[in-house]
Amino acid sequence: MSVLAGPDATTIVPPSAPVGGEGVLRRLFRRKLAILGLVIIAAVVLSAVLAPEVAPFDPNEQFFDGLTLEGSPLPPSERFWLGTDLLGRDLLSRILFGARNSLIIGVVANGAALIIGTLVGVVAGYFRGLIGAVLMRFTDLMMAFPALLLAICLAAVLRPSLWIVALVIALVNWVQVARVVYSETRSLGEREFVAAEKTLGASSSRILFRHILPHLTSTVIVYGTLGISTTVLLEATLSFLGVGVQPPDASWGNIIFENQTYFQAAPWLVFFPGAAILLLALAFNLVGDGLRDALDPTEEGRH
């Protein structure tokens, strides 16, 4: 049999075999773009936390010299680095303070939506039957319900605040996640390795959390990173309707919304907060991509 003694007899080591015990973080840090993303996120978080220290002005102060003689906002200058808004307030300071609200919305609200959506989707997709039917019909119902109407109803019942906005966004955004996770869980549940676990006598929670959830990470991460920019903008819509971050408090979304009609005359008022949202979304995207690869052992050596 010696001639046939191919790779089956002894273990083969692929040329790029990774050293087994490497941590997820180590693998994440090997990716340059992921590090860039982490740096950007850290910078945004720091500036939000340290806004009172680093902001050149009070975000709500309306400067007498913040407007031209005709009353229009100032373009970027030496005194106001990013220019001023319609009321003569310093845009840079408003963006720095607004980062607090936008981060809470983008991370907390979006994160809550992801968690709710994943749990509902996984449970409905794995157990199916009555539980699955009830959960998914409820998801369909939520999908059909206009988000803004829901937000206005909630705001009418509760006092408008940032946390209401976060709650509304979480309640509105989890449905898409649930749908996608549901269908993916259904197909994962049909995979043979799940059947193999069942024959070993593994409990449902073990199969769900140890074997199915890890396979959903890439989907959830994609949804999570896509969700950041949409939720930041959804918050702006809600603020615009008077449900949410109340003036004069700033958020990136409501800066854009307040000023969008003056886009031609004062483009910087839309450009800078827009760029901030883009940068944050991009940074989360990069980290998300890196995390997805780092969490998937089969991706090793393919990047």
Partner 1 sequence: MSALRQTEAVGAGAPASTPVLTVEGLTITVGEGAHRRPLVEDLSFTLQRGETLCIAGESGSGKSLTSLAIMGLLPKPGPRVERGSIRLGDADLVALGEREMRRVRGDRIAMIFQEPMTSLNPVLTVGRQLTEAIEAHRDVGAAEARRLALESLEAVRIPEAARRMRQYPHELSGGMRQRVMIAMALALEPDVLIADEPTTALDVTIQAQVLGILKEIQATRGTAVILITHDMGVVAEVADRVVVMRQGRAVESGAVAPLFEAPQQDYTRALLAAVPRMGAGAAAGEGTRANQPVAEIRDLTVRFPLKGGLLGRTVAEVHAVAGVSFDIPARQTLSLVGESGCGKSTTAKAIAGLVTYGGHLSVDGRAAQSLSTTDRKALRRDVQMIFQDPFASLDPRMRVGDLVAEPLVIHGIGTPKERRERVAALFERVGLEADAMRRYPHQFSGGQRQRICIARALALRPKLIIADESVSALDVSVQKRVLELLKELQDEFGIAYLFISHDMAVVENISDRVAVMYLGQIVEMGTRAQVFGAPRHSYTRRLIEAVPVPDPARRRAAFPRLVGDIPSAVRKPNDPPQRLVLTDVGEGHLVAAE
Residues 37-96 that bind partner 1 (CB under 8 A): none
The string over 85-105, giving b where at least 16 C-beta atoms fall within 10 Å of a residue's C-beta and e elsewhere, is: bbbbbbbbbbbbbbbbbbbbb
CA within 13 Å, CB half, 300? 15
Angle between helices 162-189 and 110-127 (to 10 degrees): 30
Minimum distance from residue 145 beta carbon to partner 1 (Å): 26
User: Based on CB atoms, which residue is closest to partner 1, 38 or 212?
Assistant: 212
Minimum distance from residue 62 beta carbon to partner 1 (Å): 56
Query: Does the protein bind partner 1 through residue 133 (CB under 8 A)?
Result: no
Query: Of 8, 53, 70, 78, which lies in the binding site for partner 1, with binding defined by CB under 8 A?
Result: 8
Query: Does the protein bind partner 1 through residue 137 (CB under 8 A)?
Result: no
User: Based on CB atoms, which residue is closest to partner 1, 61 or 296?
Assistant: 296
The string over 262-282, giving b where at least 16 C-beta atoms fall within 10 Å of a residue's C-beta and e elsewhere, is: eeeebebbbebbbebbeebbb
- The H-assigned helical ranges of the chain are 24-29, 32-49, 51-54, 91-103, 110-127, 129-144, 147-157, 162-189, 192-200, 204-206, 213-240, 252-259, 268-295
Query: Does the protein bind partner 1 through residue 17 (CB under 8 A)?
Result: yes
**Which span sits near partner 1 by CB under 8 A: 16-24, 47-55, 166-174, 269-277?**
16-24
What distances in angstroms separate CA 74 from CA 18, 59, 64, 83, 260, one per listed residue? 56, 15, 12, 5, 16
Residues 199-238 that bind partner 1 (CB under 8 A): 199-203, 206, 210-211, 214-215
**Which span sits near partner 1 by CB under 8 A: 12-20, 35-43, 82-90, 149-157?**
12-20
Beta-carbon contacts of residue 163 (< 8 Å; ≥ 6 apart): none
Query: Does the protein bind partner 1 through residue 7 (CB under 8 A)?
Result: yes
User: Based on CB atoms, which residue is closest to partner 1, 161 or 217?
Assistant: 217
Could you give the CA distance from residue 29 to residue 35 in angstroms, rounded to a whole number?
Answer: 6
Minimum distance from residue 115 beta carbon to partner 1 (Å): 20
Minimum distance from residue 219 beta carbon to partner 1 (Å): 14
User: Pseudo-torsion of CA 48, 293, 185, 166, nearest 10°?
Assistant: 0
**Which span sits near partner 1 by CB under 8 A: 4-12, 80-88, 117-125, 234-242?**
4-12
Query: Does the protein bind partner 1 through residue 10 (CB under 8 A)?
Result: yes
Q: Taking CB under 8 A as the rule, which mask of x and - marks residues 166-205 in contact with partner 1?
A: -------------------------xxx-xxxxxxxxx--
User: Based on CB atoms, which residue is closest to partner 1, 249 or 293?
Assistant: 293
Beta-carbon contacts of residue 165 (< 8 Å; ≥ 6 apart): 105, 109, 151, 235, 238, 239, 243, 244, 245
User: Based on CB atoms, which residue is closest to partner 1, 2 or 264?
Assistant: 2
User: Based on CB atoms, which residue is closest to partner 1, 156 or 195?
Assistant: 195
Asked if residue 144 lies in contact with residue 208, where contact means CB atoms within 8 angstroms, the answer is: no
Query: Does the protein bind partner 1 through residue 21 (CB under 8 A)?
Result: yes
Residues at the site binding partner 1, with contacts judged by CB under 8 A: 1-4, 6-12, 14, 17, 20-21, 191-193, 195-203, 206, 210-211, 214-215, 295-298, 300
